[in-house]
Structure 1
Amino acid sequence: MVAVVLVHGLYHRPEHFAVLAESLRTAGTEVFVPELHRGSLLADTAAVQAVIDALHEPPIVLGHSYGGSVITGLRGAGHLVYLAAFVPDAGESAAGLGGASAQLRDAIRPEPDGWTSLHPDRAAAILYGDCPEPLAAWAVDLLRAQAPGCGRGVPEHHGWKRTPSTYVVCARDRAIDPGLQRRMASRCTDAHEWRTGHSPFVGQPGLIRELLRNVSHPSSRTGHRVPGPAWPGRRR
């Protein structure tokens, strides 16, 4: 498999991808998980772009949630994977597309200097509600405070218009409305729908590992791979 770059969302850290990244590395895949939280969408995008620019061949880049806005602005990716993620078009931001669900907004609590964090008890149910309790608790403990404004950032480039892309709708998501996800998925080359919550890389990393293997080696796709419905407007 070609190199994989995993891009986390708001409030998250690279460590949330630890189990998935380790399983990919064990299988011989080179994996990069850059730290965001650089203060703006453009700064976050630049941090991931630096990783891509240092590679010898175009990688598969997966963006989760807000990470979709980040990977949209990249150049030089071989394939973009949007996992319950935002797919902005020209002039659009994650917040403008619909942003967080009402449940997630209610879980946000203010911190000094305009920063915000998530109420731990509510975050567990919203972000990791389909995970076993110990895994959900581990993931919640990793969450960090978030600087203001990133979700309102507008990408300067729209890679999904030229780069092959795959969208994964998480049908039991409580953080980003699945209906909104389906509308954004219509912008991508291919789409799938999983009966998972917002963060399958925590509870079901094997699903993502198999998806990335299929993206890297399309001829090896197996019969149990479930495509999403053919929504109107799907890019082919």
Structure 2
Amino acid sequence: MKNFSRLVPIVLVLLASISLSFRPQTANKQVPKVKIIVLVHGAFVDGSGWKGVYDELVKKGYHVSVTQHTLQSLASDVAAVKRIISQQDGPCILVGHSYGGVIITEAGNDPKVVGLVYIAAHAPESNEKRAEIFKKYPSAYTSLIKGTDGYDYIDPQHFQADFAADLPKAIASFMANAQVPTADVCFQGLVENPAWKTKPSWYMVAQSDRIINPDLERFYAKRIAAKKVVEIKGGSHSIYTSRPKEVSELIEAAASY
């Protein structure tokens, strides 16, 4: 009995050390708190550009919805996205690319939305006119064509250089010739109550973006007090398509917050 009583403390110490040796792996692993993701596209494109991000997230068990809005007005686009949010059966992370960032800044006020992820996206302040902020942070692109009917598009001949420089030529060419002309009034739409003021946010900067000045993206990220900012070296405006792994990882960080 004396020998047994001496062994008990030793056994307990060994068991404790074994238990502790497994803890770091568990502690370092992100555990998703939100499993529903809603992806919102920007101007001149549709939701198909999210395919790579969609695949990355779905294979990890997330439920992902991709919005298809009309690009005819900010109000109609917000309504379309809120329609998709209403279909979700739990809390969700809202992700916006480019002009999609304006949409999620408004639609993100929905109580089901618990986090916002901006991918090379606009994150406007209350009633902020983007034309004014562009004067301070001018864009590099020169390919925008304003149609006589009030709809804008990007010159297909310059689409890859300005919009999708880090995508293969064939994919960029398809995107250029499958454009969704965007009503000019979309770019003039104002947000009254930015959701990022009350919801945690994350931001991805495309360092080689010609559509939105990368310095403007950094300005947005700082102003919204992004929980995490990721910069993609060589990333074009199309990082939501060209860098699905990095984009999905940032979304997962938001879902695990």
| In 1: Cα distance, 2:133 partner to 2:40 partner | 19
Query: How far apart are the structure 2 equivalents of 1:172 and 1:137?
Result: 19
Aligned mates of 1:97, 1:63 — CA distance in 2: 19
Q: Unaligned regions of 5+ residues in structure 1, if any?
A: 219-236
Identity between Structure 1 and Structure 2 (%): 30
Please say if 1:50 is aligned against 2:83: yes
Q: Does 1:194 align with 2:232?
A: yes
Post-superposition shift, 1:19? 2.4
| CA separation of 1:24 and 1:141: change in aligned 2, threshold 3 A | farther
- Work out which of the two has the higher radius of gyration on C-alpha atoms and give 1 or 2: 2
Per the alignment, residue 145 of structure 2 pairs with: 109
Distance across 2 between alignment mates of 1:67 and 1:93: 16
- The TM-score with structure 1 as length reference comes to 0.84
Question: In structure 2, what is the Cα distance between the partners aligned to 1:211 and 1:66?
Answer: 19
Normalising by structure 2, we get a TM-score of 0.78
Could you tell me which residue of structure 2 aligns to residue 87 of structure 1?
123
What is the total number of aligned residue pairs between the two structures?
Answer: 217
Q: Is 2:122 aligned against 1:122?
A: no
Q: 2:169 aligns with which of 133, 151, 160?
A: 133
Q: Deviations over 1:89-141 (max 9, x none)?
A: 1111333332895543x212233412122111211111110122223223323
* Cα 1:94/1:53, change in 2 over 3 Å: farther
Computed over aligned residues only, the root mean square deviation of the Cα atoms, in angstroms, reads 1.9
For 1:54-80, what per-residue CA distance to the aligned partner results, in whole angstroms no more than 9, with x for missing partners? 222221111111111100012221110
Instruction: Show structure 1 runs of 4+ deviating over 6 A.
Output: none
Superposition deviation, residue 154 in structure 1: 0.3
CA deviation profile, 1:163-185 (whole Å, cap 9, x unmatched):
00011111111111011111111
Shift of 1:26: 2.9
TM-superposed deviation, 1:53: 2.2
Aligned-partner residue type, residue 83 of structure 2? A
The answer to whether the 8 Å contact 1:135/1:203 transfers is no
